[in-house]
Amino acid sequence: MTTFDAPGARLALELSDEGGVPVVQLHGLTSSRARDRVLDLDLGRGLSGTRLLRFDARGHGASTGRTVPEDYRWDHLAQDLLALLDAVFPGEAVHGVGPSMGCATLLHAAVRAPERFRGLTLMAPPTAWETRAAKADEYVRTATQVELHGADFLRRVQAQAPVPPATEGTPDTMPDVPGDLLPSVLRGAAASDLPSPQQLAALRIPTTILAWSEDPAHPLSTAQALAALWPGTELQVARTRVDVERWPARLAADVARSA
């Protein structure tokens, strides 16, 4: 199976089956499996002896989607994830890993079905709660400008954004979302937030949080707030690109622990 039919979308996926623990890897907003590899965010490249599922979220990469903003809300993406896990790993608990939007999708899915996750490696948690409103407004403004001026407007916005020291030197890449879907994807993100702290505090899933510094879109305040909800959670903060290059080994250790 290389695709999975979800309501209103066909999700492109790949499964590297070497036996062992089932792992699902997600990506961030406007990214994809292919783009995350270029950005050194493909932590699964360091895994062996697992059943590793990678897929493109609806409207991203090689997956299809509709011009319906609600389709791209994080809680809706969590429905896609759980349906995909039912199809690929029926009845099994998986280890989940993903950055930003992928991190948020995993948390919404874990709140809805905690028994489906044996462990989580959360990367670059996004703005949430008190910091979310300003980012949501920015996404709405950008969506409007993309409708007026085309998808290249987002690339110009991203090129002007602060570069965290941990990502310096990564290649310049284009958003991996079709231009006609991009406004809906951005509006769906604008209408999203993490589950409430009360919902998240009830989770009992072994979790590691991998964050980086000096990134307003992925503030340390979110990572620190999440870590405070779960006693024993490890928070690692990358301050250089070398630190990020150690993240695949961290994921491998997390997966071994969850086994």
CATH number, domain with residue 209: 3.40.50.1820
pTM above 0.95, yes or no: yes
Q: In tens digits, what is the pLDDT along the chain, a chain of 259 residues?
A: 699 999 999 999 999 999 999 999 999 999 999 999 999 999 998 899 999 999 999 999 999 999 999 999 999 999 999 999 999 999 999 999 999 999 999 999 999 999 999 999 999 999 999 999 999 999 999 999 999 988 888 888 888 888 899 999 898 888 999 999 999 999 999 999 999 999 999 999 999 999 999 999 999 999 999 999 999 899 999 999 999 999 999 999 999 998 8
> How many CA atoms within 13 Å lie on the side-chain side of 28?
20
Give residues with Cβ within 8 angstroms of 3, minimum separation 6: 10, 11, 12, 13
Helix (H) or strand (E) holding 24: strand 21-25
**Could you tell me where the DSSP H helices lie in the chain?**
33-38, 74-88, 101-112, 132-149, 152-160, 182-190, 197-201, 220-229, 241-245, 247-258
Residue 178's domain spans which residues? 3-258
Structure tokens at 178: 């079709």
> Within the chain, how many helices (H) and strands (E) appear?
10, 8
Contact (Cβ atoms closer than 8 angstroms) between residue 29 and residue 100:
yes
Nearest to 199, CA basis, from 22, 75, 81: 75
Q: Return d(Cα 154, Cα 30) in angstroms, integer.
A: 10
User: How many domains does one find in the chain?
Assistant: 1
